Amino acid sequence: MGNVTTIILQRLLLGLLTLLIVSIVIFTAVNLLPGDFAESILGQGATPESVASIREDLGLDQGFFTRYFSWLGGMVTGDLGTSFAQLMFAQQMGGAGDVTVLDQILPRLSNTLFLAGVTAMIAVPVAVTLGILAALYRNTVFDRAANVMTLSSISSPEFFMAYILILVLAVINPILPSLSNIYDGMPFGERLSKTLLPALTLTLVVTAHMMRMTRAAIINLLASPYIEMARLKGMSPMRVIVKHALPNALAPIINVIALNLAYLVTGVVVVEVVFVYPGIGQLFVDSVKIRDIPVVQACCLIFAAAYILLNLTADVLSILSNPRLRHPK
């Protein structure tokens, strides 16, 4: 047990180091974006004096390292800063301008996690079931059809799949709404209905990875001696796969599921834009347009943290599910 704890602590420290490096990359890349927030706010009537005044108010006149360590310290303490756009709007309206980045991100992040959760509840059972059936009936018409369908879906861009589903399920057959304009306080049933179309789009994208990895992991184990022994004892093929092959194939399956769950959090930008879904991806795109640096940096860091956390979770679960990884010797 001590060995497992040591391995988990090593993975966590490695994750924190990775997140620190990613934070440097994010801060550098965002600050290298073309354009200037002060000039975009002032428009064509911007003068050097007014631009300099706004940059001083926002702290953009400070040095690179000063701004980075100030931002990093805020991240560690949970202070994501204040949105430039909200601050300028509040000042123009005579308000206090205390709308923080966290206030903007939390409801959007909640919406994105809801979308990712709905997608996961559909995609994971479907993908694992299809993978088991494809392994059980490999090289049959069902196996080939499942492979063709999943490969077709994964080869198509998300926006293309989204527009196809809108055409089929919202225009030709008006079953689901084409726009996901959800809001706080919306009844759960209506919220689920408006989220279903973007969730189906993401399901088509991520199912192929999980299905093919499940199929490959199970087929790889079917030639093992203990599987042959179970067959010789007269066990049904489905029972052999579910009871003997699937538990030993959990490590790669868990890895691919976690990677796709990470994609559901970090790769929803295109889908949210297509369906006008009020998630963190839509907020990220809007903030990039107006050069709202604190919001862009916070969104990028959340994406990175979610991806790293889910990868660490997959790594730890793989170690716990496979004794050989706990005792490499």
Q: What is the pLDDT along the chain (329 residues), one digit of tens a residue?
A: 557 777 778 888 888 898 889 889 988 888 777 766 666 666 666 667 666 776 776 677 777 788 888 888 888 887 777 777 666 665 565 555 566 788 888 888 888 889 888 988 998 889 888 888 888 888 888 888 888 888 888 788 888 888 888 888 888 888 888 888 888 888 888 888 888 999 998 888 888 888 888 888 888 877 778 777 877 777 777 777 777 777 777 777 777 888 888 888 777 888 888 888 888 888 888 888 877 788 888 888 888 888 888 888 877 777 776 666 666 55
Length of the chain: 329
What are the residues whose beta carbons fall under 8 Å from the beta carbon of 225, sequence distance 6 or more? none
Strand partners, 82: 100
Cβ–Cβ < 8 Å for 288, 224: no
Amino acid at 96: A
Q: How is residue 141 written in tokens? A: 């018409």
User: Considering the entire predicted model, what is its pTM?
Assistant: 0.81
- Please give the full DSSP string across 172-192, using - where no structure is assigned: IS--S-S-----TT--HHHHH
Q: How is residue 8 written in tokens? A: 């988990």
Q: How many whole angstroms separate alpha carbon 258 and alpha carbon 264?
A: 10
Residue 163 phi, psi (nearest 5): -70, -35
Cβ–Cβ < 8 Å for 276, 282: yes
Q: State the Cα torsion 227-214-310-321 to the nearest 10°.
A: -10
Residue 90 phi, psi (nearest 5): -65, -40
Q: What is the model's pLDDT at position 38?
A: 64
Cβ–Cβ < 8 Å for 130, 207: yes
Class of domain 106-326: mainly alpha
Q: What is the model's pLDDT at position 249?
A: 74
Q: What is the model's pLDDT at position 74?
A: 81
Query: Quick one: DSSP state of residue 79?
Result: -
CA-to-CA separations, 41 to 45, 47, 85, 113, 329, in angstroms, rounded:
10, 12, 8, 32, 61
Q: How many whole angstroms separate alpha carbon 252 and alpha carbon 247?
A: 11
Please list the alpha-helical segments (H only) found in 78-187. 84-92, 101-136, 141-155, 158-166
Q: What is the model's pLDDT at position 173?
A: 86
Q: What is the model's pLDDT at position 251?
A: 74
The domain locations on the chain are: 15-92, 106-326
- Please give the full DSSP string across 252-310, using - where no structure is assigned: HHHHHHHHHHHHHHHS-HHHHHHTT--SHHHHHHHHHHTT-HHHHHHHHHHHHHHHHHH
Strand partners, 171: none
Residue 61 phi, psi (nearest 5): -85, -5
Nearest CA to 108 among 287, 277, 267, 263? 277
Q: What is the model's pLDDT at position 90?
A: 59
Q: What is the model's pLDDT at position 325?
A: 60
Q: What is the model's pLDDT at position 1?
A: 52
